[in-house]
Structure 1
């Protein structure tokens, strides 16, 4: 209906993003910082009064500097605090460095592997939006691998305490990063007490896909939980599916989370151990919808966001 991306309206540069079928947003651009197609994907970096600097991949927002800390902190800290002693971490995707920055705040962490398919994202964020990764790419605990995340997890012989999946939304090849087979590979690569977390889209606009991701993960792992938080630049309550084969995520005492948070001396802007349990409170209205839309995603028939 509308051409997504950079356009013109009444002499002003604007950015058009499709939030979901039949709903678009228009953002007035103050500055086009970067706009180019890499070998893999279209990358836009723009500045606006409302959102600061925003990164778009294939016309979908990845973060904005005004609220990226909300998304990244909730992606990382609940999962790492659920684990009693996270030392070895794998991040699949996350080339913007936001999740990596948060992981490195845990003083238990000794080794992090970040696997991203497009080195351009790492280079561009370091050049144009260094406030997001800060110094994380140069931390001696970090190893960066430029490779397809699915291929890496299939071939890796290492095991990890926590695996974080921070990839683009399921469309095209990225759909294979949301399937039963993919999560089974992840399950097999976790150590004892291992924890996995993946972002799982917006609860209101993408309820069907949240359901499919959550129940697909549930088919693989013994324990699964769904967390949510409102991210303004995403226009929705964003969800995170957290899973483990050894730790009952929903039964961890809040006092334990408090103690781990304090002991690890984590400095956060949004997350705190005091809000931890509230992240997992989903209304019965949504749980009923999620249950009614239940479907497991397989490689042969993966989740695919409607265009």
Structure 2
């Protein structure tokens, strides 16, 4: 039995036993590995970094999708930047009121590999008739598009390699221009305890482009180092403050059955620990 050792951070690593090797190869853009681990099930890694596992993916995908959709309350058109394993699409298509989904992915081979090797992630969402799948660079797509969306979800890898452009001033500015009056942008924003510059840098860029911005968070076991942060931004200050009773009503009406998300968790997720608030403040001060 071999071992996969992730060394994303200097001086700190996690190891997973490779109980069954399934796939290893290069797409031309990224190194891909899929294997089975006895505790987490099938595991996808890109460039040596754990991206998702069958056991704990529900935390990430439920929070990134349902928090903005239920906060908004009337999402009809969604743009997804970064399709990857398809888990975020699985959660989006569960909302019957959504009429149109545009999903942009830079690496088609990852999508097809995950469709075949991690089928429970997308669970048929890639064949949903509301979905339009586009293979392109996310930043370039936004720069050229003239469409408007109620929600933009950025389900990216970390800021490096193919995802580097999705953490830039230009990307956030383009997102702001493509959102409707109450539109929301929600993004993957790393683990702040071990990626502090990412949180502060994103705060600075969101503040430059949006009327309202912030972060929410959730604990995903294989994203080591503490809670994962999700970026939040909108042209409206109202949607982030959707009250608990409204969230409960929308959640009940949706018919969703979830394993992590609840309306109460939704509201609590925006309460950040002091160290995250300090990182955000330090990031903003660099521009002062």
Do both share a fold (TM > 0.5)?
yes
Alignment of 1:106-117 (within 5 A): 106-117=95-106
Residue 266 of structure 1 corresponds to which residue in structure 2?
256
1:155 and 1:20 map into 2 onto residues whose CA distance is 35
Paired residue for 2:148? 159
Q: CA RMSD in A?
A: 1.6
Alpha-carbon distance in 1 for matches of 2:10, 2:206: 25
Partners of 2:147 and 2:276 in 1: CA distance: 37
> How far did 1:250 drift?
4.0
**What are the equivalent positions in structure 2 for 1:135-146 lying under 5 Å apart?**
135-146=124-135
Give the aligned partner of residue 203 of structure 1: 192
- Other-structure match for 1:184: 173
Q: How many angstroms does 1:290 deviate by?
A: 2.8
Deviations 1:83-131 (A, max 9, x none): 1200110000022111011111112101101110111111111111111
The count of residues paired between Structure 1 and Structure 2 equals 286
Q: Distance in 1 between matches of 2:89 and 2:16?
A: 28
Partner of 1:82: 71
Partner of residue 123 from structure 2, selected from 120, 125, 134? 134
Answer 1 or 2: which has greater helix percent. 2
Give the Cα separation in 2 of the matches to 1:200 and 1:295: 19
Give 1:249 deviation, angstroms. Answer: 4.2
Counterpart of 1:150 (choices 115, 120, 139) is 139
C-alpha spacing 1:218/1:197, structure 2 compared with 1 (3 Å): same
Corresponding residue number in structure 1 for 2:241: 251
Q: TM-score, normalised on structure 1? A: 0.89
- TM-score of the aligned structures, taking structure 2 as reference length: 0.95
Cα gap change, 1:173/1:122 in structure 2, threshold over 3 Å: closer, same or farther? closer
Which residue matches 2:159?
170
Cα displacement string for residues 234-257 of structure 1 (whole angstroms, at most 9, x for unaligned residues): 113101011111233442211111
Counterpart Cα distance in 1 of 2:286 and 2:36:
39
Structure 1 regions of 5+ residues with no counterpart? 1-11, 298-307
The answer to whether structure 1 residue 70 and structure 2 residue 59 are counterparts is: yes
| 1:196–1:127 Cα change, 3 Å | same
